[in-house]
Structure 1
Amino acid sequence: MKTATIPALRVEPELRKAAEEVLNENESLSSFMEASLRESIAKRRLQREFVARGLAARDEAHRTGEYFDADDVHAELASMLQAARTAGKDH
């Protein structure tokens, strides 16, 4: 049940037209805006969590003095990706 409202959003006519042009069948502009707002909130939360993990990793590296060479990390990630692709072809 919806119990709160979002303030009216004033936009350029072109933006409203563009939004209306991409609506799915039986989708209202309001439902599109709500879905877009939910997606943006989720994206920002993920971004903040990503930055927090990066800062924590940096602090841990400072604390322990253990660092990893970027080339080594890239090589290991490439190896993991290749192994995943190979495993995916088996199925």
Structure 2
Amino acid sequence: MKSATIPSVRVEPELLDEVEKLLSEGESLSAFVEAAVRSAVRERQNQAEFVARGLQSLARSKQTGCFVESDEVLRKLDDKLSAANTRKAAARS
């Protein structure tokens, strides 16, 4: 498969300076930009999949009439957080 190019992007000189300072040894600006684009693509894909799962869950809940009240979910999350904090405090002792 032939490779393609990503259009060049105009940025302020200060941003370019910041990016160049962050490059790893031997890393090119092109490699950095490619990695950033790949990361952004994965993030957008994950976000789209998350929204799709949420919409499917909502539709399923509407069909079945089975819902979990938000207060119950928040209570369970608070319980988990409290337990984790207790474990963390015990580990420090």
Matches within 5 A, 1:11-90: 11-80=11-80, 82=83
TM-score of the superposed pair, with normalisation by structure 1: 0.79
What 5-or-longer segments of structure 1 have no aligned partner? none
**Which residue in the other structure is 1:6 paired with?**
6
AA matched with 1:32:
F
Residue correspondences, number: 88
Displacement, 1:40?
0.3
Pairwise CA RMSD:
2.5
Distance 1:12 1:78 in 2: 45
Displacement, 1:10?
1.3
TM-score of the superposed pair, with normalisation by structure 2: 0.77
Aligned CA distance change for structure 1 residues 14 and 26 (closer, same or farther; 3 Å): same
Q: Quick one: percent identity of the two aligned structures?
A: 45
Distance 1:38 1:14 in 2: 23
Deviation track 1:54-77 (CA, whole Å, cap 9, x = no partner) reads 111111111111111112112334
